[in-house]
């Protein structure tokens, strides 16, 4: 008798858990057990954790700008699609993904994930959450950046109305600590990076949707969620055998959030911790010749996005990273350039999941890899990277 879906899923989960156990050091096992016990205790008797008062306002300087002479047409077209409810997730297009989307629903399978304790939710169980990769992609909020770009280029208030509606609905539908969007500190970090970019392109603390009493309520709602995200990331950094690209992404998200919204003393402290992690992990997770130790081209690109975004945000705030950090990023970019052919193609060595941290370009021929080289050419003044990048995006 052939195995049913339940047997296949159970078998895959069992194999995954066995392989994970094999990777763990003796010190990691009690750490994991303590985390699991804490999550169960939290689910039974959740702690009442208040948000402290702000002692300063959000950061007024920007590290995201709209270049002069940029053709608004592709950005406006994509913002219009999003406002109408259309979604494009990886290679799939959904004509009616919802505006706002159903945040806890996998758009690919239609499965609605439960709002149980996030850290106890088995997000690998397709019967429970559907395809988590597709659910999480929507909740990374790359599309909010596109809406903010539409506003920044046209000053059309409709884009800000949609952005505000999406954020308000997300915060209502995804209460802190519960459901599939509070399973992963990495996903929370990516969301914060896109929130930071959307915040800046919308006008920062002076954005039109913050005007009036209703606007002040929305600003407070958003800032409260920023704090909850930052606290969640700081409390659930990837450790031990999980301290790979996830830890770099988590630190980058927390660092950028701490720069954008330095409104609380703890967030400023967490920002310093995050910068220390970035400094350390950039060197630990790559070799001196710029090869990611995960030995996967896709993840080299993923990690570089985090490291470069943090560097760019830090420079705009006059916060410098070490020379060793910048030299390692430059080496990682040169490594990518060395394996790229004349058409901008790179060999797909190792694992890949096609995920992105953010997306600022809307051109149909956009290349993530060439975009990284173009950024590196500017940041490090490299003619070699400029030649391989071909053009700025």
**Domain contains 163:** yes
Q: Is residue 153 part of a domain?
A: yes
Question: 142 in a domain, yes or no?
Answer: yes
Tally of structural domains, the chain: 1
- Rounded to whole angstroms, the Cα distance separating 111 from 120 reads 18
pLDDT average, residue stretch 217-239: 97
Name which residue leads in pLDDT, 172 or 387.
Answer: 172
- Whether residue 4 is predicted with pLDDT greater than 80 in this model: the reply is no
**Residue 179: left if φ>0, alpha if ψ -120 to 50, beta else—which one?**
left
Task: Say if 247 falls within a structural domain.
Answer: no
Residue 136 lies in a domain: yes
- Tokens at residue 379, please? 């940041």
- pLDDT of 87 above 90: no
pLDDT tens sequence across 343-383: 888 999 998 888 899 999 998 888 899 999 999 999 999 98
User: Does 141 fall in a domain?
Assistant: yes
Q: Give the confidence band of 175 by pLDDT, cuts at 50, 70, 90.
A: very high
The pLDDT confidence band at residue 38, using thresholds 50, 70 and 90, is low
Least confident of 1-15, 38-52, 127-141: 1-15
Q: What is the pTM of this model?
A: 0.91
Question: What is the per-residue pLDDT for 21?
Answer: 62
| Residue numbers of the domain that contains 136 | 71-183
Q: Is residue 139 part of a domain?
A: yes
Q: Which residue has the tokens 């290679």?
A: 91
What proportion of the chain, given as a percentage, has pLDDT over 70?
88
Does residue 229 form part of some domain? no
Between CA 311 and CA 370 the distance in angstroms is: 18
Within 13 Å, how many C-alpha atoms sit on residue 123's CB side?
Answer: 20
């Amino acid at each position: 008798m052939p195995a049913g879906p339940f047997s296949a899923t159970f078998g895959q989960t069992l194999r995954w858990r066995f392989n994970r156990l094999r990777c763990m050091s003796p010190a990691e096992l009690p750490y994991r057990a303590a985390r699991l016990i804490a999550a169960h205790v939290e689910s039974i008797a959740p702690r009442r954790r208040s948000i402290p008062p702000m002692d300063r306002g959000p950061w007024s300087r920007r590290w995201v700008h709209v270049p002069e002479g940029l053709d608004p047409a592709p950005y406006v077209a994509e913002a219009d699609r999003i406002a109408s409810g259309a979604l494009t997730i990886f290679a799939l297009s959904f004509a009616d993904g919802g505006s706002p989307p159903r945040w806890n629903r996998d758009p690919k399978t239609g499965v609605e994930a439960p709002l149980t304790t996030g850290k106890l939710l088995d997000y690998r169980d397709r019967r429970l959450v559907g395809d988590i990769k597709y659910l999480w992609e929507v909740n990374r909020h790359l599309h909010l950046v596109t809406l903010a770009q539409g506003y920044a280029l046209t000053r059309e208030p409709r884009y800000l109305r949609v952005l505000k509606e999406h954020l308000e609905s997300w915060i209502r539908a995804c209460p802190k600590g519960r459901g599939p969007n509070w399973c992963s500190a990495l996903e929370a970090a990516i969301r914060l990076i896109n929130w930071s970019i959307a915040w800046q392109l919308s006008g920062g603390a002076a954005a039109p949707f913050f005007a009036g009493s209703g606007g002040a309520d929305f600003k407070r709602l958003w800032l409260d969620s920023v704090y909850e995200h930052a606290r969640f990331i700081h409390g659930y950094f990837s450790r031990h055998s999980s301290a790979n690209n996830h830890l770099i992404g988590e630190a980058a998200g927390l660092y950028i959030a701490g720069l954008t919204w330095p409104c609380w003393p703890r967030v400023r402290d967490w920002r310093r911790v995050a910068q220390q992690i970035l400094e350390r992990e950039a060197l630990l997770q790559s070799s001196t010749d710029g090869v990611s130790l995960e030995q996967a081209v896709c993840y080299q690109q993923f990690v570089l996005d985090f490291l470069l975004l943090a560097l760019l945000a830090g420079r705009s705030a006059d916060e410098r990273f070490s020379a060793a950090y910048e030299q390692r990023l430059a080496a990682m970019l040169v490594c990518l350039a060395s394996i790229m052919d004349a058409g901008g193609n790179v060999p797909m060595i190792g694992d890949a999941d096609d995920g992105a941290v953010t997306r600022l370009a809307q051109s149909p021929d956009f290349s993530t890899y060439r975009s990284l080289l173009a950024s590196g050419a500017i940041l490090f003044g490299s003619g070699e990277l400029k030649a391989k990048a071909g053009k700025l995006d």
